[in-house]
Every structure is written in structure tokens, then in C-alpha cells.
Structure 1
């Protein structure tokens, strides 16, 4: 029987690219996709991840496990702190998509830029970077660029403006930091659009996150 990977998403736009990547890296692995596009709105409304939000995310993860997932990958940075809450309750590995990316960022530099469009992503990503730095015995400085106007453009269907705002921010941020992380998996396509004159390393989470899942599944 083939392995099964559970995927927990909070935006519909990421479902296709993540599944395409999983199909490329793990052909023959079945996938369970669970999408909850309201939970991030709850985090924004509450101002933090509350116990009720952790329970909601836990219910999605446990549902994927009940359906037969051998490992579960949470593809949204905004809800990644819930993974720490759920891990002891699950009998299969539960992974954060941005774990490998943040590991690499801390290994690569002391000044780390974080580019985000969703305010709910900033704190989890920054805290994960600081946690990784502590584990490695490093001190880091994090510089955040939050571009909510890019998210607003995307929400009204203007992907071109969304990308332009973020690419301009990457150019500005690149001169001030050693490495830049794109805090949301939905921003990964920007990697191929970056000006070739930008020498600062830019990291995205989808490929390394899915590779982590592949390794966890023993493939």
C-alpha cells in the first residue's frame, strides 16, 4: 500500500502548487488535502492563536490522521505554532513547512530579512527563527517587511501588482540583510522573478518543506 501524506492548508491558491511539488518529489504517494480558509481570519480577529484556534487546527490534523495519513505537513506559517500543541496528540509525524527554510536561514547569516504580506505570519516566523538560532547558539537580528498592500492587491485579483510590491521590497531589503525568507508558501513563485543583480540569498518554504515530508516518509 502506498504512503499517504496529509496536507493542511489555509489558502486555496497553495493547494495546486504544493500538490504538484509533492507529485514531482514523491510520485505514487497519495495525498489528503484539508483546506480551512477561515482560521487565519480568526487569528487576525483574536490577535493571537487562542486555545480554540489550536483545537480547530488540531481537529484538521487528527482528521488527516484518521483518514490514514502517514505524515502530515502544515503548509501555513500562521498556524505553525499549533503544530507544537498537536504533536503530542498525534501518532504520526506532524511537520511545519517552514522548518527547513528557517534552519537554512539561521545557518546562512546573522541578519535575516522576513518578507510577509499577512500580519498573522510575522510573529510565528520570527519566533521560529529565534528558536532555531537559540538551538544553534547564535544571535540573530530579524528585519521584517510587512506588505499588507500586496495582500490587498492579491485579494482583488491583481497578482501583477502583488508581485511588483514584493519584488520592490526584496530589492530594498537585500542590501540590509544576509538572507531573506519569504514567510508564506504562496510567495514562492517570486523566487524565479527576482532581479539577477540581487545577490542576497532568498529562501522559500515549499520545496524544502515537501522534501522534509519525503524524508519523514522514508522515501
Structure 2
């Protein structure tokens, strides 16, 4: 029987990236979107405790819908909880985890590129802790593409992708000695395009996502035609 994967998004634009990354696998993808976080995260009374409770409640709701696992695609969500903190009856897969694995296997100085300023500190802290637990030594610096994330929030997807591609190409030209990865799912298609144009490797959360989902679900996925 085909396994079901619940995909928890903060923005509907992430759906297309997951469909592209996992659409050919024999997994049924069920999408859940809660855009309220982006509308409220700047409010002074929307505390970390409220964020944590809302995420926990939503994960439990998704888990109760008959899925075999949950993929959390938003780095804002993943920076506010650790999977082991939650009593969830199904595996929780953070979109960051496959990327963290890949980064920890590389040597030398690396750059992790963001567009969402609210996720930089939390994601970097999680990466450092992930490497520490795995006894890996990494040298990773964050780089923020300014004035990009608002384009996603206002529905200007093409302008967002064009800006990210431009900045990635500029960064590669100026820092060819550093291995480059993008931190957010919304940057994955731009990373793929830049890698294709420049011939320079650009890591992203989707590069090894399929293999990691198979492992988390203990399920060998057929690749559909």
C-alpha cells in the first residue's frame, strides 16, 4: 500500500517545490498550509510559547489524519521545535535535516544562503547542534539575500526566483572557493538553475530529500514514470 506523507507548510508556494521533488515517488502527498504564522510572527504578543503550542497542535492534527509521516517544510517552524520534544505517533521529518547531513559530509569553508531573516539564527544554531551530535567539524557562514523574502509574501514568485538566481551567481563569482548551499525550500529551483548555468554545485534541501523520506518512513519508494 502506498504510504501517505503529510506536508506541513507555512505558505502555499512550498507545495510546488515538494511536488516537484517527490512527485515521482510512490508516496501520496497530502498538503496542510497554515499561513497565519507569517501574518502574526511580528506581533509582540505572539510569543515563542504560543508559536510552539500552535506548531505542536498542528502536527498532532496532521498525525491524526492517517498519514505515515510528516514533512515540515518551513524553516520558521523547524527552528521552533525539535522532533524529539514532541510526542507524535508518526515520524517527523524536518526539511533541514537532509541538507544538514549533506553539509556535515563536506570539508572546507561553506556558505548557507537565506532569504528569510527570521530563520537565519535559528537554522544556524540547529546546524551547529546537529554537527555536534554527529561529531562533525564544519565551517559554515550564513549569507542573507536582502529584500527577497517579501516578494514571496506578496506573490511575486518569478521576481523572487530571478533575484535569488542573480545573487547566487554573483556570490559564486566572488567566492568560488566556498561550497554554496541554500537554506530554504523556496530557493531550491533557483539553486538548480544556477547550478545548471554555472556548472558549480549548489546544495539545497531537496537534493537528497527523497532518500531521507524513504529512510524515515522505512519504505522503499518506486520511481513513477
Q: TM-score range by the shorter chain?
A: 0.7 to 0.9
State the match for 2:119 in structure 1.
121
What residue number does 1:5 align with? 5
Contact 1:9 1:35 in 2 (8 A): yes
RMSD: 2.6
Q: Distance in 2 between matches of 1:47 and 1:192?
A: 39
Among candidates 37, 48, 51, match of residue 49 of structure 2: 51
Q: TM-score, normalised by structure 2?
A: 0.82
Contact 2:17 2:185 in 1 (8 A): no
Any idea what SS the aligned residue of 2:82 has? helix
Residues 168, 46 of structure 1: alpha-carbon distance in 2 compared, 3 angstrom cutoff? farther
**Alignment check: 8 A CA contact 1:113 1:177 kept:** no
Give the superposition deviation at 1:105: 1.2
Q: 1:142, CA displacement in angstroms?
A: 2.9
TM-score, normalized by length of structure 1?
0.84
Q: Which moved more, 1:111-120 or 1:68-77?
A: 111-120
Alignment-derived partner of residue 223 in structure 2 = none
2:135 corresponds to which residue? Answer: 137
Distance in 2 separating the partners of 1:182 and 1:70: 28
Aligned pair count reads 216
Displacement of 1:130: 0.9
Aligned 1:77-116 pairs, distance under 5 A: 77-84=75-82, 87-116=85-114
Task: Give the aligned partner of residue 173 of structure 1.
Answer: 171
Per-residue CA deviation, residues 157-182 of structure 1 (Å, 9 max, x unaligned), is 44444233322322343316532221
In structure 2, runs of 5+ residues without a counterpart are 221-225
Correspondence 1:74 to 2:65: no
What secondary structure does 1:103 align onto?
helix
Contact residue 6 and residue 31 of structure 2 kept, 8 A? yes
Instruction: Select the structure that is richer in helix.
Output: 1
